[in-house]
Structure 1
């Protein structure tokens, strides 16, 4: 456990194992190698001695208790990881929010947090990721002070999942770490729906981005094992796992998972149209559109794109851009790389820069790098 904490805190600071070794050697006056940190500490073979724990505490800027105690207080870990995951420009906001929450024993009520969840679900669909990330960081600093009830852990899990989505899953660090903490927060809530939803949402986010696919599969498998009841969490897990299979070239599994996802959608799909927490018919077809493009299934891609465009709310132009870029990917997969890349680029450039998302930029890279389908 101590090795995992060292690794997470090191990554949160953006340090390599070599950088950590250099910092420790300079601070302690004793030499330690990158290999020792990797093979002995972070792999769990050896627990750092009291001497090294003191210096780790200093260079990583965390209380010694976080490194000494295997049963880590997750509120402390959350606070330190949150502080390392946001830009310094909002440090003042975070400090003010955290101290205000501590000084005000009452703080926001559960009803207040539920209202915030609703607002964030809608805002994520229409506003830029940078703005959402900043607001979420401040609210998480406040909520971190109130994690004394299961319902608060549930609210934290939902907000942390959304916060994870403001980082690219491909960076192998921040997004995945936040999804993992969101899953743990969901477990502490004791709410099965939340536990399934958080893991399913992580699976579809990573699967749609084409990032950290083994982790996407792991989250999906956990969600599917927790409950067989039709739900949005299960739907997201199935579609995330379907995208992961498609990207691995496993057409049979991708198609079977998508078909099961359709059946779950028929029983659990959303009427809410403009929330990130919802999966209405148009959004289900956005999932299917990209999946079909990845599989090189031109007929399914065209049908899904038409269905999605028919019901897509006008106030969500970013998703219309997704569909046009899926068309570009489909063209590349069919062998017309020049036209496919051109169409995807035109669609992305037509969307105001303030509406761009990390996912769209990753999708553009996928179109550019895609190879023609062998089918």
Structure 2
């Protein structure tokens, strides 16, 4: 049994709460939670947050459980130091300051390496989770957790953070945030071709929550298109893309906006470039690639590499397997290592699979 599993069991028994009671408030069975407490299953962040909510006592129990969940993937000593430094200094920023800080993380995500961003963001999450005392702070935390998931190295780990972000968003009662978190998580996974059933579930949840045009709904519809493409459903992919384009026409972000929370024209073109490369449809794929290169801010070199990998995938899908693979590897090698991301790595792997596929 690991320390976190033991903490969950101790907190539950001290509060006099049964496993059945916690199971009734979550999507997990009592037997699964029992295995978590025994250390036979992983105590994922969403399970930790479910315990924290079920056990109450937000000033003590929730704080310690969430801190345990947050610091796990990163060097604990550094994060504990930052959290205690903030506490000893009496640091408690306003809701506006926290919102601005998370907005900045959204901008930084587009321009800097994931490793650097992850360490800084994790440090702020340690502090932020001690201040979840209003719906606005839960909304801010949900957005931060979604960005944090994007900095992780593995889709399975990312899903744990996206699930936690969904729970935090629901706690905020902010419909726009609830839709955005699910839509962003859906397109993140679907674009990568990872965990398509989970991506579809997130997308379906976002779309069911509200039919109002929004960036969250737009990303959920684009995720549906990529899920369909991953299942070789060309008609479904094209139909979902058309739905997404109609929403984009009503919700597009300004062209100069650089943020993970924004979808300006160049980013929409990037989503569509990958979609049509995946489908092997050269005409719309090349059109989207041209738009992405023409409209994308020059500083976003990582996203230029996305388009180069899409071109490589298109080559491999259209029959030039060796040429596509060589093109992809050159694009990957040209991008400095500290600018690479999990997403780019997964796109490269998709090119490699397409290049190995028998004619």
1:126 corresponds to which residue?
111
1:274 corresponds to which residue?
258
Stretches of structure 2 lacking an aligned partner (at least 5 in a row): 6-27, 57-61
C-alpha distance after superposition, 1:309-364 (max 9, x if no partner): 11110010111110011000001001111000111111111112221111111111
Equivalent-residue separation in structure 2 for 1:183 and 1:335 (angstroms): 41
The reply to whether residue 184 of structure 1 matches residue 167 of structure 2 is: yes
The reply to whether residue 346 of structure 1 matches residue 334 of structure 2 is: no
C-alpha distance after superposition, 1:69-114 (max 9, x if no partner): 881455444322212122x2xx222112322344455511112112
CA RMSD of aligned residues (A): 2.9
Equivalent-residue separation in structure 2 for 1:303 and 1:366 (angstroms): 21
Following superposition, which runs of at least 4 residues in structure 1 exceed 3 angstroms of deviation? 42-49, 65-70, 72-77, 100-106, 371-375
Contact 1:169 1:206 in 2 (8 A): no
Equivalent-residue separation in structure 2 for 1:265 and 1:335 (angstroms): 33
TM-score using structure 1 length: 0.80
Seen in structure 2, the aligned counterparts of structure 1 residues 69 and 164 have a Cα distance that, compared at 3 Å, is closer
C-alpha distance after superposition, 1:170-215 (max 9, x if no partner): 3x2x210100010110011111000000000000000011111111
1:140 corresponds to which residue?
125
Matches within 5 A, 1:68-83: 71-72=54-55, 75-83=63-71
C-alpha distance after superposition, 1:280-334 (max 9, x if no partner): 0010000000000111100010000001111110010111110011000001001
2:146 corresponds to which residue?
161
2:200 corresponds to which residue?
217
TM-score using structure 2 length: 0.83
Contact 1:290 1:301 in 2 (8 A): yes
Equivalent-residue separation in structure 1 for 2:55 and 2:67 (angstroms): 12
Seen in structure 2, the aligned counterparts of structure 1 residues 362 and 187 have a Cα distance that, compared at 3 Å, is same
Contact 2:79 2:122 in 1 (8 A): yes
Seen in structure 2, the aligned counterparts of structure 1 residues 230 and 339 have a Cα distance that, compared at 3 Å, is same
